[in-house]
Copies of this chain bind each other. A is one copy, B any other.
Amino acid sequence: MTLRDKLAAVNLKATHQRLTILAAIEECHTHPSPEKIHKIIKPGNPTISLATVYNTLETFARVGLINKVASLSGNLRYDPNLQAHGHIYCYNTDEIIDYYDEELNKVIIDFFKKKKVNNLKIKNITLNINGDKLDKTKDVIIK
């Protein structure tokens, strides 16, 4: 599915800005803040404005193309990955890294099969792992 198709599927016009922002957030796997996304795309797209990055990300989240992410960083963060997965937050690099593990998903689903959550319509369940990267130049790997 192309980026154009994704926008069409949610009835958003395929503007250059939207295509650029969607591409950037899908490519960068640390869920950067709007400010950082703007810095990433600005060189190749000098007229794109920071307000448009903010507004566009919020639009994408509103129509369900991406999700808002809970963050310890104090600014807004978004995630283009819509399937169930966890997040690793690194205090010392401010990165939010996806953590997908089929077994973890199963463990969580199994747990909530046994529990009753009253008075809440659950939208999403995420495991957050917070810590410090030991070597900032390398990736965090869970296996």
- Chain A residues at the B interface, C-beta cutoff of 8 Å: 68-72, 74-76, 88-91, 101, 103-104, 107-108, 111, 115-135, 138-143
Contacts and interface: CB of A to CB of B under 8 A. Distances in A.
Contacts of A138: 119
A125 B122 contact: no
B125 A142 contact: no
A117 B130 contact: no
B111 A140 contact: no
B126 A140 contact: no
Nearest to A137: B119
A118 B120 CA distance: 36
B142 A131 contact: no
A141 B118 contact: yes
A139 B142 CA distance: 36
Contacts of A117: 129, 140-142
Given A72-B68, A108-B127, A143 B115 contact: yes
A138 B95 CA distance: 36
